[in-house]
Structure 1
């Protein structure tokens, strides 16, 4: 599985750090939607879906969480714990998030507005779609 982690340029000095997110620059798509998860309990798993067309970039702004990724052929676990690194989630990639630190803030940038018809929420349907 070819997972792309994007290194984001961090600027800063003794006052702190700044990372700018710019579409078509360090985010390789036009940003149409941004959302973030926080206050997630450590023993909770989230996600459990893939998208037909949507592409996303996930960035842990604070804390850490893990991603379980499945492309239908291979499964991979990825730890996100660096606010200057983004995980690309292309269409057709099943993803689940878990092992959230108590302070985790997970920001997700997407190239389209929310569309329920773009979701594949059944892992069986996801696997069946790969065999077509």
Structure 2
């Protein structure tokens, strides 16, 4: 089982050019998984929270493509907050970490790269159920 201690900011390649910068992400090169799904959150109303779940197996990379937001991570025992506001930084999330995405700036775009295709059975959507699973795995 992975956890909060494995979650970290990954400094993505950045090619600086007077015409505009370029960054890129290659699965299993810059991140520790192959990319099987990409999705993004946008037009988020002020004060809204996204996330509110954990994954049993899925790994993710979260990138602030535009604007800023905070990601609160919780492994069932400890919490840590990461502020994302640069498109050349990605937050790597392992499995078994609860996440809440908050404090979206106006016009923020949150891109998520996922290690697997969508599978509802991989989700913990109830925090109490997640905590119970974490406790069982630590026994």
Indicate the TM-score class for this superposition, using the shorter chain for normalisation.
over 0.9
Aligned length: 132
Between the aligned partners of 1:116 and 1:18, the Cα distance in structure 2 is 34
Aligned to 1:11: 15
Further displaced range: 71-80 or 116-125: 71-80
In the alignment, which residue of structure 1 is the partner of 2:83? Answer: 79
Q: Which has the higher strand share?
A: 1
Instruction: Identify unmatched segments of 5+ residues in structure 2.
Output: none
Contact 2:13-2:25 at 8 Å conserved across structures: no
Any gaps of 5 or more consecutive residues in structure 1? none
**Deviation string, structure 1 residues 6-62 (Cα, Å, up to 9, x no partner):** 000110211001101111111221000000011101200111000000000000011
Q: Secondary structure at the match of 2:21?
A: strand
Report the TM-score when normalising by structure 1: 0.97
Match of 2:66 in 1: 62
CA contact (8 A) 2:61 2:92 kept: yes
Q: Secondary structure at the match of 2:92?
A: strand
Contact 1:42 1:98 in 2 (8 A): no
- Aligned twin of 1:43: 47
Distance 1:41 1:76 in 2: 24
Question: Cα RMSD over matched residues?
Answer: 0.8
Match of 1:29 in 2: 33
Runs (4 or more) in structure 1 with deviation over 4 Å come to none
